[in-house]
Chain A
Amino acid sequence: MGPRGTEQALNTLARGGRLVENGVVGMAIVVFVEVMLFAGFISAFIIVRNSTPPGLWPPPDQPRLPVATTAFNTAMLLASGVALFLAQRAFGRRGHRAAARRMGVALLLGGFFVVFQGVEWVRLIGQGLTLTSSQLGAFFYTIVGAHALHATAAIVAVGNQWRAMREGRLSPSAFGAGQLFWYFVVLMWPVIYWQVYL
């Protein structure tokens, strides 16, 4: 939280409000659990990768993962996080219409990320990388699929909030919870990209 966010929190406290909204606390607990889920997935992946003899990872008979195009897609997802951050700032300074516009940009970028992933998956399945073709395939679809599922859930949730924001009836508690989940999806992805793709 930046100085302005701190100032807002202190003003809220001074008015007898809560330091953290209930929705944000609930979402923080969810995110805590989800981070541990992905940490478990990635730990298992690292151990399996390091247990193979040198030169046999990734499996020679399996297609290579699209590193460059996914880097571009990663940039899109990070940009969506920035757009949602700007929406939060606009929410406090310029009103709900400006915030809704930035939320719309975040949603478009997040939607692009998920669709782009789907296109990549179709290509990889066509090249022979499936859930049962190798350990790489099993881990790839489990980890990346779990993330895509979370990204889709985040898009649905923030999409609903975007509608509420446009009508000026979005509560700060709900907005904070949605933001927290979106930031989790955005910040988890570079870790997955680093460990699974590189």
Chain B
Amino acid sequence: MRRILPFLLLLALPDVAQACAVCGAAVDRNKSAFVGTTILLSLLPLAMLGAGLWWVGRHRNLSEEFADREAGVPVRGQPTGGGKE
């Protein structure tokens, strides 16, 4: 019990222990700046990668449609030009 007691006392003081000393800034504006810039730096690379993948995927789909159209295969959602519906 003597060994556990200090840990139990620490549990009673959760606000004192900060995982990151810098993130516990006293100024609220600074705290929100940390949160905002963390979100920015985390999401920005993902957003750029996502945009690149989206662009490549979109053009791959379009290129497949284009190749189908060149080959005379009816494209989904477009009239077939006189074929039996």
The reply to whether chain A is a binding partner of chain B is: yes
**Which B-chain residue is minimally distant from A11 (CB atoms)?**
B66
Provide 6 A-B residue pairs closer than 8 Å at the C-beta atoms, listed in order of the A residue.
A1-B55, A19-B63, A39-B40, A43-B41, A46-B37, A51-B33
Q: How distant is the Cα of A28 from the Cα of B53 in the complex, in angstroms?
A: 12
Taking a contact as CB atoms under 8 Å apart, the answer to whether A47 and B62 are in contact is: no
Asked if A149 is at the interface (CB within 8 A of a chain B CB), the reply is no
Beyond A35-B48, A39-B44, A40-B41, whether A47 also contacts B30 by CB under 8 A is: yes
Interface residue B45 (Cβ < 8 Å from any Cβ of A): yes
Number of A interface residues, CB 8 Å? 21
Instruction: Quote the shortest CB–CB distance from A42 to chain B (angstroms).
Output: 8
When each residue 41-85 of chain B gets 1 if its CB lies under 8 Å from chain A and 0 otherwise, what string results?
A: 100110010001001100110110011001000000000000000
Q: How far is the CA of A46 from the CA of B36 in the complex (A)?
A: 9
In the docked arrangement, what's the CA distance between A84 and B60, Å? 27
Residue in B25, B41, B63, B67 whose beta carbon sits within 8 Å of that of A51 in the complex: B25
Which of B33, B48, B55 is within 8 Å of A47, CB to CB? Answer: B33
A35 touches B27 (CB 8 A): no
Taken together as a complex, chains A and B put the C-alpha atoms of A40 and B41 apart, in Å, by 7
In Å, the complex CA distance between A36 and B37 comes to 12
Residue A13 interfacial (CB < 8 Å): yes
A6→B56 CA distance, assembly (Å)? 11
Does A32 reach chain B (CB closer than 8 Å)? yes
B45–A32 CB distance below 8 A:
yes
Residues of A within 8 A of B63 (CB): 9-10, 13-14, 19
Q: In whole angstroms, what is the CA distance A117 to B21 when docked?
A: 39
